[in-house]
A and B are shown apart, each in its own frame.
Chain A
Amino acid sequence: MSLLDLKEITKDYKLGKTIVHALRGLDLGVEEGEVIAIMGPSGSGKSTLMHIVGALDTPTGGTAFLDGQDLQQLKERQLVALRGKKVGFVFQTFNLIQTLSAQRNVELPMIFQGIRKGERARRARELLTKVGLADRVKHKPNELSGGERQRVAMARALANDPEIILADEPTGNLDTESGGPILEMLKRLSVEDGKTVILVTHDPDAAAIADRIVRLRDGRVVEEVGRA
């Protein structure tokens, strides 16, 4: 079985009085270690797909298996555990906690898993070193450049050693110069560490690192390019 297996996924949600059909029967399988890029116009359901894969939201219909677990059947508590341990998020707007230093931001996911302080600090520094910010551990987000902030976010996504990295427009707010290293890092995570990377993007250059490009339109997969 694939790491991620989505069949006939539908997702409706209410927006005021109208019901929005964000996903309308989406099928997608993702293998371990793969980098896939999800592209599509606004409103095509990219973000909703990300939320479901990241266990932030549950589908309205269809079957969704993540690492063999049926997302539909999981209780809130189990979903929390899933997104804490199996998934790491990288957001377009970084979403770092402004009041915390780079190191504490990276420690945050580990705090919620109850990992001991010494172990946490050691791992946070190790991850920050890995993303090239060894000399920025004590800096607050507003003391860092956009590229540096996104690298902190990358380190945070890796904190609990997840199997899947979900990156939602990770270079959307960055120029090419600072965005390039982020994409390289994502690629290396797949190649060197065997992580599965799901990358939502508008940018064809970003999508170029993917093994496979999946295009969405109106809540369905309309095209898959790359390794079959």
Chain B
Amino acid sequence: MLKDFLLLAGQSIVHRKLRSWLTVIGVFIGITAVVALISIGLGLERTIEEQVAKVFGVDTFILMAEGTFGPQRHAGGSAEEYALDLEYLRSIDGIKVAAALRERTGYVQGPPSADGTSLQGFFPVMGLSPELVTEFESFTGTLKALPGGRLFEPGDEAVVVLGTEIAERLGVTVGDTILVAGDESAELDLTVIGIMAPGEGGDDDSGGGFSAGMRPSADKDTIYVPYETMDLLWGPAEDVLVTLVRSDPGVNVDELADRAEKALKARGSDVSAVTYSDISEAIGTMTSTVSAFLAGIAGISLLVGGVGVMNTMFTSVLERTKEIGVMKAVGAKNSHVLMIFLIESGLIGLVGGIVGTLFGLGLSAVASSFIGRFFDIKLAVVASPTLIIITLLGSFAIGAIAGLWPAWRAAKLPVVDALRYE
């Protein structure tokens, strides 16, 4: 019977081609806007996630100072320091590699020059785990020493790598020795083993994408020492900026991150572990909020389309008053009449939905390539089946809801009056 009603409703729509199409246009503009905006939002989200995934892989997490990631992030979001026992972290079951980065400002003295004086001053000193360079290249970017030098290797201790600028100012080259002083009376003579090559693309960090914020950036006036050497100068680490951890194969990284975070907290480290799923969740929340906001605005046009459907249906009911009378005279129940009109308005909505979805997906593809070209990124084009199904069901529902009142009026028409109607 439903099939017959569908046919009756469909025939009525086809019979009023022009008006039906105009109504459909009213619906599909709204649907197009909603679908396009949501699709672009999804594309953006996927693109960002792909970028993050490229950096993270599936087996890595970051330890950051508590409160620097997530919704309770401090204003400015600058990296805060935390205490860390890296050896203990490495001993936790399931961790394959852990590498950390800590920073201090230290007194530095260059070798005496010809006239007996030497350059001295306070400079940022950064302690790097050698593994940071060898194991976590996706975070740090490719760090290289200038020809003739090298970067840290495990076991290095009394060595130093210099930024290009500071090397020049101190007037040292590979093989020279500089003095670095830490807390109290701790001071070390360190042998220069390499000069850090400036980052690709010169000073400009923007090419680094996500990893830009992570890298012990090629700050040209920074002094790099092995992570363990920092202990000798400043004692146990209380100034760690970031720690990168990779799990053993097959370990659930989220579970491991939780475990590591708890264990470290118990030992007084104010850290929070951030895994790929935390980040993608945060990105998802952000992009879907934006998408929902935009789609909400587009939804207004959908509302207008719905009112259009209602108007058309009222006209249709009025025009077909006599027809309704006839249907009732030959045995149609009120519910039959209601159904026929609801299906009719629902179909108008559905056709609007189909056309709107097609246009919306097309529009989002065009917009994505345009945005992509503008910002020089490749934006993913997403045609989410869930979105399509929800849109189609939703557009049918919009039509049916808009038709509810007119259809109810049609169903309630007294048959005698309807038959008399001219």
Contacts and interface: CB of A to CB of B under 8 A. Distances in A.
A99 B11 contact: yes
Given A98-B15, A99-B12, A112 B415 contact: no
Contacts of B11: 99-100
A98 B415 CA distance: 19
B331 interface: yes
Contacts of A111: 1, 4, 8
A100 B326 CA distance: 13
Given A111-B1, A114-B1, A51 B330 contact: no
A156 interface: yes
A35 to B, nearest CB: 21
B11 to A, nearest CB: 4
A108 B5 CA distance: 10
A83 B3 CA distance: 23
Nearest to A82: B331
Interface in B1-55: 1, 3-4, 8, 11-12, 14-15
Interface string B393-422: 000000000000000000000011001000
Interface in A154-213: 156, 159-160
Contact of B323 (A56, A97, A114): A97
Interface in A103-143: 108-109, 111-114, 117
A157 to B, nearest CB: 8
B322 interface: yes
A156 B325 CA distance: 15
A112 B333 contact: yes
B326 A95 contact: yes
A57 B334 CA distance: 15
Contacts of B330: 83-84, 89, 108-109, 112, 156, 159
A113 B327 CA distance: 12
B332 interface: yes
B282 interface: no
A170 B97 CA distance: 95
B293 to A, nearest CB: 44
Nearest to A51: B416
B220 interface: no
Interface in B224-262: none
A96 B323 CA distance: 8
Contacts of A76: 334
A56 B416 contact: yes
A144 interface: no
A120 to B, nearest CB: 9
B15 A112 contact: no
Contacts of A84: 330-332
Given A95-B322, A111-B1, A83 B333 contact: no
Most buried by A among B14, B330, B332: B330
Nearest to A114: B1
B150 interface: no
Given A100-B11, A112-B336, A160 B416 contact: no
B329 interface: yes
A59 B79 CA distance: 87
Contacts of B328: 56, 80
A112 B322 contact: no
A227 interface: no
A225 B336 CA distance: 42
B329 A56 contact: yes
14 contacts: A56-B328, A80-B328, A80-B334, A81-B331, A84-B332, A89-B330, A97-B323, A100-B8, A109-B331, A111-B1, A112-B331, A117-B4, A156-B330, A159-B330
9 closest residue pairs by CB, A with B? A84-B331, A109-B330, A112-B331, A99-B15, A99-B11, A95-B326, A111-B4, A112-B332, A56-B415
